[in-house]
Amino acid sequence: MNAESSVISEPLIVGCWQLDNRSWKYLSETEVERTLDTYLAWGVTHFDTADIYGRSEKLLGRLLKGRDCTILTKAVLFGNIPTANQVRSKIENSLRNLQRETLDLVQIHWQNPQLDFTSTLEIFAQLVEQGKIRQLGVTNFNTPMLKKAIQFAPITTNQVQYSLIDRRVENSMQSLCLEKEIMLLTYGPLVGGFLADKFRGVKSPPPENEHARGFYYSSVIMRHGGWSPVQEMLNALAQVARKYELTIAQVALNWVKNQPGVGAVISGLTLERGQIQSNIEALQANIDSADLQFLSEKSADLFKQEGDIYSYERG
């Protein structure tokens, strides 16, 4: 699918996992409403959620009702192969939560690659034909899974983890997506916020129970080489950031957006207006390709990139 016909038309997508108060600090509805208004007022109209992000879908449905925006959700499939009714009722549930007649983009997460997803994808393809879903995507599909999936359903996007620390997407997924015109939507561009000025010079990652940094991205860092290379990466990012009067986080976001095949960068919802503005400006900044290349080479020297998409996460 080419970029003109995609439902994704902006470089920044707001990640709404942060509205799941089982994994994240509780945010009041007033705070969330004010923050969504800020994003919309500043021209950011794409939001990413999932059927498994607790109250996130329902809250977005209520607060974004009637607003001109695009909501990406996910159909997360753990366990056995679902029946057709189970798939349909999952989609009906998301339609109810989001208070929509049609879902803009449904991204399928299939946990167990040993199970055959063919019949399930065919049901999703029917739901597109029936107008329940505008476009279909996948998330965390590895290369063999995606090669197979596109034979059975019109897949337009793959949502994957991508940052200067985790570049497994480059092993084989990126070239497949470029060849098949499948847009990469990238999560974790700041490695949960570790790629930011406030972590430069910090001796070890702090324990944080209510933040994905503490329970998700710390283990990503261990898998790719540990805390000491992260500090070297932060120094390299700071060097480029100084040159352009940007922050480390801005350069890290800009680097991901400039990688081949990346259609949009997903950055987690933040209440801080300064961070919202900074993330919007990050994607408008012009950083010379030589400086982006310098960061790519630094990252290639510092971090291991073994395996395909979502390899260690599946266990």
Ligand X SMILES: NC(=O)c1ccc[n+]([C@@H]2O[C@H](COP(=O)([O-])OP(=O)(O)OC[C@H]3O[C@@H](n4cnc5c(N)ncnc54)[C@H](OP(=O)(O)O)[C@@H]3O)[C@@H](O)[C@H]2O)c1
Site residues for ligand X per CB under 6 A: 15-18, 48, 139-140, 159, 187-193, 196, 211-212, 249, 266-268, 270, 275, 278-279
Q: Which is nearer to ligand X, 139 or 299 (CB)?
A: 139
* Residue among 15 and 205 whose Cβ is closer to ligand X: 15
Q: Do 230 and 265 form a contact (C-beta atoms < 8 A)?
A: no
What sections of the chain are H helices per DSSP? 29-41, 56-63, 84-98, 118-129, 143-149, 173-180, 212, 218-224, 227-244, 248-257, 273-282, 289-302
Least Cβ distance, residue 170 to ligand X (angstroms): 18
Q: How far is the CB of 268 from ligand X (least distance, A)?
A: 2
Q: Least distance (Å) from ligand X to the CB of residue 184? A: 12
What gap in Å lies between CA 194 and CA 285, rounded to an integer? Answer: 21
Nearer to ligand X, 126 or 278 (CB): 278
Q: Which is nearer to ligand X, 69 or 126 (CB)?
A: 69
Half-sphere exposure of 277 (CA within 13 A, CB side): 3
Residues 272 and 206 sit within 8 Å (Cβ to Cβ)? no
Under 8 Å between Cβ of 221 and 158: no
**Close Cβ partners of 169 (under 8 Å, ≥ 6 residues apart):** 160, 161, 162, 184, 186, 309
- Quote the least distance from Cβ 278 to ligand X, whole Å: 4
Give the span between the Cα atoms of 301 and 174, in whole angstroms.
20
Amino acid at 180: K
* Residue number with CB closer to ligand X (157 or 267): 267
Whole-number minimum distance, CB 146 to ligand X, in Å? 14
Q: Which is nearer to ligand X, 60 or 95 (CB)?
A: 60
Among 295, 312, 215, which Cα is nearest to 257's?
A: 295
CA 97, 141, 131, 267 dihedral sign is positive
> How far apart are CB 80 and ligand X at their closest, in Å?
20
Residue nearer to ligand X on the CB measure, 11 or 188: 188
Burial of 110 (0-12, 13-18, 19+ CB in 10 A): buried
State the nearest-atom distance from the C-beta of 130 to ligand X, in Å: 25
- Helix or strand or coil: residue 298? helix
How far apart CA 292 and CA 296 sit, in angstroms, is: 6
How far apart are CB 131 and ligand X at their closest, in Å? 25
Cβ atoms < 10 Å from Cβ of 77: 20
In the complex with ligand X, the residue whose CB is nearer, 38 or 275, is 275
Shortest approach of ligand X to residue 129 CB, angstroms? Answer: 25
Q: Closest CB to ligand X among 59 and 212?
A: 212
